[in-house]
Each structure stands twice: as structure tokens, then as C-alpha cells.
Amino acid sequence: MTFLALIGHLLNFAAPAIGVALLLWGAPRLWPKTRAGRWAARKELLALCGLGVAVLLAGLIVLGRDAKMFSYAALVLAQGSLVWWVRGR
């Protein structure tokens, strides 16, 4: 496997986590009366991406393969819970 192929595989593995993180991070900023979170915007986005990749990696280790629906459900639940906690419930 070449280096570029490896980078492509890693980006495709992390893409669902990054996509959901961007949606959860960016959607509240569209409404003008949204409360500010406990963290700075950059820290919140990095935490969402990191948590998402960690959940997908845990799903890969536990289930033995990537792209299982259980891993994606856990991803949405974990990232949604983090946003709920950061945004002040």
C-alpha cells in the first residue's frame, strides 16, 4: 500500500466522524439566539472530531470490522451527548 492510499483509507475512516462533528458544531450557529457553549468553538470542534474517531476506532476493535451500523449509532449518540453537555443542556 502506498502512502497516498494509506492517507485515503484513514480519511475515509474518519469522514463520518468529521461530517457529524461539523453538522453538530455548525448547526447551532445558524440560530441567532443560541447560547454560547462552555468551550471555545475550536476546542468544541476538535473534541467532537476526536471523540468521533475514538468511537469509530472502538467499534472497529470490538466488532472486528469497519462500517457497522452499531458503530455509527454509537458515534451519533456520543457526539450528540457531548454537544448537549457543552451547550449547557
pLDDT digits (tens, 9 = 90+) for 17-73: 999 999 999 888 788 777 677 788 899 999 999 999 999 999 999 998 888 899 999
Q: Tell me the CB-side half-sphere exposure of residue 69, using CA atoms within 13 A.
A: 0
Q: Are 53 and 21 in contact (CB under 8 A)?
A: no
Q: How many helices and strands (H and E) does the chain possess?
A: 3, 0
pLDDT of residue 31: 80
What sign results for the dihedral spanned by CA atoms 47, 51, 53, 54? positive
pLDDT of residue 89: 64
* Parent domain of 71: 3-29+36-86
Q: With a threshold of 0.95, does the pTM exceed it?
A: no
| Residues 22, 5: Cα–Cα separation, whole Å | 24
Split into its structural domains, the chain has a count of 1
CA dihedral 89, 33, 45, 52 (to 10 degrees): 50
Contacts of 51 (CB under 8 A, 6+ apart): 17, 78, 79, 82
